[in-house]
Structure 1
Amino acid sequence: MQRTKFGEMACSIARTLDVIGEPWSPLILRDVWVGMTRFDQLQADLGISRKVLTERLAHLVDQGVLERRPYDRRPRYEYHLTAKGAELVDLLMVMAGWGDRWLAGEAGPPVLYRHHACGEISHAELRCAHCGEPMHGGDVDPLPGPGAAA
């Protein structure tokens, strides 16, 4: 059975899932974001097989989300977020906020986020780019865009 090609769909959610829609990719991006940039660090933190980690890292590099940088002569590489990958961290922060609200339980959130600009502990919040008001699913009407399927 052939896998559906989400990247070819006229849907930005499907196209994003084509890049990071399996469970390991967001976790790899999270680890790279917090400073685990070497293969062995990622493998140890995630408990992922070498084969799967190699495949996921190659995919994320091919998608332009991570870049490889050599750090010794073997060669061995570190992985770093590209600008495209850094924007995906925003998505991960929104996912973390949802998980904190609905899944953290009595223990509370496992991670807190200190905002550089004000120094306060905060959370990601969706706002309208035009007026600055909070923006949630019930506050918008999805309309066909210029890239919509015919």
Structure 2
Amino acid sequence: MVKRRSLVSDYCPSARALDAIGDWWSLLIVRDAFDGMTRFGEFQKSLGIARNILSERLRTLTARGILEAVPAAAGGARQEYRLTAKGRDLFPVMVALRQWGEQHLFGPGERHSSLIERDSGRKVTLTVQTDDGRPIDADGAVILKVPESEKQRSPS
């Protein structure tokens, strides 16, 4: 198996974000946490994931500050996993991923879950816009990369 290369020092925010999240199991755990799941058993039942893989993903998400382990509300030795502020800031990422899936991965009329506002029942959507509020798409945006001359070698 090829060892995964760390992107923690990469100059691309997308690369660093992917390094922090880890893999698709981690995103599914975050999805379930947004859905109110907090217990190891709830995540395992929802995902059908092996205990050792779930343990490792929860440990990694906690170490990266996306989840926090807290004593269970019912007491005892058990703990719960809750989204931190950093984890809750993944909400737009999850909405964007969901919208892309709805648009491209379901056939016409095919049923799927829906994301709605709790109070009004209205559908939640995400739009990309400039900092002055104008909508923008991929054709109107460009990434300004850090010039090679400005990159400094980071300590490993």
State the alpha-carbon separation in 1 of the partners of residues 102 and 111 from structure 2. Answer: 5
Q: For residue 56 of structure 1, report the CA deviation from its aligned partner.
A: 0.2
State the alpha-carbon separation in 2 of the partners of residues 114 and 135 from structure 1. Answer: 24
Q: Aligned residues, how many?
A: 147
Query: Any unmatched runs of 5+ in structure 1?
Result: none
Q: Is the partner of 2:101 in helix, strand or coil?
A: helix
Which deviates the most, 9-18 or 103-112?
103-112
State the alpha-carbon separation in 1 of the partners of residues 24 and 51 from structure 2. Answer: 16
- Assess if the C-alpha contact under 8 Å between 2:31 and 2:94 holds in 1: yes
- Assess if the C-alpha contact under 8 Å between 1:69 and 1:78 holds in 2: yes
Query: 1:72-87 residue pairs with structure 2 within 5 A?
Result: 72-73=75-76, 75-87=77-89
Q: TM-score, normalised by structure 2?
A: 0.84
Query: Any unmatched runs of 5+ in structure 2?
Result: none
Q: For residue 50 of structure 1, report the CA deviation from its aligned partner.
A: 0.4
Q: For residue 36 of structure 1, report the CA deviation from its aligned partner.
A: 1.0
State the alpha-carbon separation in 2 of the partners of residues 107 and 53 from structure 1. Answer: 34
CA RMSD after TM alignment: 2.1
Q: TM-score, normalised by structure 1?
A: 0.87
State the alpha-carbon separation in 2 of the partners of residues 117 and 139 from structure 1. Answer: 35
State the alpha-carbon separation in 2 of the partners of residues 45 and 116 from structure 1. Answer: 22
The aligned counterpart of 1:114 is 116
Q: Deviations over 1:40-82 (max 9, x none)?
A: 0000010000000000000000000001111122x21111111
- Assess if the C-alpha contact under 8 Å between 1:66 and 1:82 holds in 2: yes
The aligned counterpart of 1:134 is 135
State the alpha-carbon separation in 2 of the partners of residues 144 and 112 from structure 1. Answer: 36
State the alpha-carbon separation in 2 of the partners of residues 54 and 126 from structure 1. Answer: 35
Q: Deviations over 1:92-136 (max 9, x none)?
A: 1101100000002134462222235765223222222x2211122
The aligned counterpart of 2:35 is 34
The aligned counterpart of 1:9 is 10
State the alpha-carbon separation in 1 of the partners of residues 100 and 56 from structure 2. Answer: 28
User: Which has more radius of gyration?
Assistant: 2
State the alpha-carbon separation in 1 of the partners of residues 45 and 109 from structure 2. Answer: 25
Which one has the bigger helix percentage? 1
Q: Give the AA of the match of 1:39.
A: F
The runs of at least 4 aligned residues of structure 1 exceeding 6 Å deviation read none
Q: Percent identity?
A: 35
